[in-house]
C-alpha cells in the first residue's frame, strides 16, 4: 500500500485517478483540495469506490481505522442527497420555465470536428490517456464517450449509406450493361440481315447474269449452226446448178 500526498485540487484529482485499492491519499485540509462541498463529496465517493483511503490533517479525518470507515458512507449519502436535491431543483426550474415559455433545452456543446477527431485518434493510438484527451477537448467523461459513440455510429451509418449507394450503382450499371448488350444484339442481327439480303441480291444478279451468258452462247451456237446450214445449202445448190450446166 502507498500513501500519496496531495497539496492542491489538481494533485488531489490526479491521485484519485491513479489510486489503487488499499492506497491512501493524504491532504492538509478540505479547502486546499476542493472549492466546494459538492466537489469534495464527489471526490470522496470516487475514492471510496476505488478502494482508497483518506487522511485529512486539519479536519482530523482518517478512514483507515474501522471507526473512520463510516465517513465514506456519510459522504456517499450526502453526495446522493445533494445530487437528488440538485436534480429536483433542476426539474422544478425546467417545469417553471416551460410553463412560462422560456425553456429552450440544454444548449449543445460546440466541438470542433477536426480537433475532436485528431484528439480521439491520438487517444486511440495510445499517445494520450482519456483524462488528457478530455482536458484538451474540455469535455466531461459522459460527453466525451457519448461523442465517441455518436461518431462511431455516424461513421457506421455513412458506411452503410455508401455501401447502399455502391450496390445501387452496381445494379444500375448491370442493368444498363444488359440493356446495351440487348441493343447491340439487335443491331448485329439487323446488320447480319442486311448483309444476307445484299448477298442474296448479289447472288441473284449473278444467277441472272449467268443465265444471260448461257442465252448468248446458245444464241451464238444456234446462229453458227444456221450459218453452217446455209452454207451447206448454198454449196448443194451450186453443185446442182453446175451439174445442170454440164448436162446441157
- Per-residue H/E/C for 97-128: HHHCCCCCCCCCCCCCHHHHHHHHHHHHCCCC
- What span, in angstroms and rounded, lies between the C-alpha atoms of 55 and 30? 10
- Structural domains of the chain in order of their starting residue, each with its CATH number: 3-99 (3.40.50.1390)
User: Is pLDDT above 80 for 151?
Assistant: yes
User: Is pLDDT above 70 for 82?
Assistant: no
User: Is pLDDT above 70 for 150?
Assistant: yes
- For residue 104, name the pLDDT band (cuts at 50, 70, 90): low
> Across the chain, where does the E strand assignment appear?
3-5, 24-27, 53-56, 61-62
- For residue 108, name the pLDDT band (cuts at 50, 70, 90): low
**DSSP β-bridge partners for residue 3:** 24
pTM value is 0.33
pLDDT, one tens digit per residue, over 163-222 is 888 888 888 888 888 888 888 888 888 888 888 887 777 777 777 788 888 888 888 888
Q: What angle do CA 7, 37, 56 make, to 5 degrees?
A: 40
CB 44 within 8 A of CB 69: no
pLDDT, one tens digit per residue, over 12-53 is 999 988 888 888 899 898 888 888 877 888 888 888 888 888
- For cell 502507498, what's the residue? 2
Q: Which residues contact 63 (CB under 8 A, 6 or more apart)?
A: 48, 53, 54, 55, 69, 71, 72
pLDDT at site 242: 79
Amino acid at each position: 500500500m502507498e500513501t500519496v500526498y496531495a497539496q492542491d485540487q489538481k494533485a488531489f484529482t490526479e491521485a484519485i485517478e491513479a489510486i489503487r485499492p488499499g492506497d491512501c491519499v493524504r491532504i492538509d485540509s478540505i479547502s486546499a483540495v476542493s472549492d466546494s462541498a459538492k466537489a469534495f463529496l464527489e471526490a470522496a465517493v470516487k475514492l471510496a469506490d476505488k478502494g482508497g483511503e483518506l487522511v485529512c490533517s486539519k479536519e482530523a479525518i482518517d478512514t483507515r481505522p474501522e471507526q473512520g470507515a463510516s465517513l465514506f458512507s456519510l459522504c456517499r449519502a450526502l453526495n446522493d442527497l445533494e445530487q437528488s436535491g440538485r436534480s429536483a431543483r433542476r426539474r422544478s426550474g425546467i417545469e417553471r420555465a416551460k410553463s412560462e415559455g422560456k425553456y429552450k433545452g440544454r444548449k449543445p456543446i460546440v466541438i470542433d470536428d477536426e480537433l475532436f477527431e485528431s484528439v480521439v485518434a491520438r487517444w486511440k493510438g495510445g499517445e494520450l490517456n482519456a483524462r488528457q484527451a478530455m482536458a484538451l477537448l474540455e469535455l466531461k467523461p459522459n460527453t466525451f464517450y457519448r461523442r465517441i459513440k455518436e461518431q462511431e455510429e455516424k461513421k457506421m451509418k455513412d458506411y452503410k449509406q455508401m455501401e447502399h449507394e455502391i450496390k445501387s450503382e452496381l445494379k444500375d450499371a448491370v442493368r444498363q450493361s444488359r440493356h446495351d448488350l440487348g441493343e447491340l444484339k439487335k443491331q448485329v442481327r439487323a446488320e447480319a440481315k442486311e448483309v444476307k439480303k445484299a448477298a442474296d441480291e448479289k447472288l441473284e444478279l449473278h444467277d441472272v447474269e449467268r443465265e444471260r451468258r448461257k442465252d448468248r452462247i446458245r444464241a451464238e451456237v444456234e446462229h453458227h449452226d444456221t450459218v453452217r446450214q446455209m452454207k451447206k445449202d448454198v454449196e448443194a445448190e451450186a453443185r446442182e446448178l453446175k451439174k445442170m450446166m454440164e448436162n446441157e
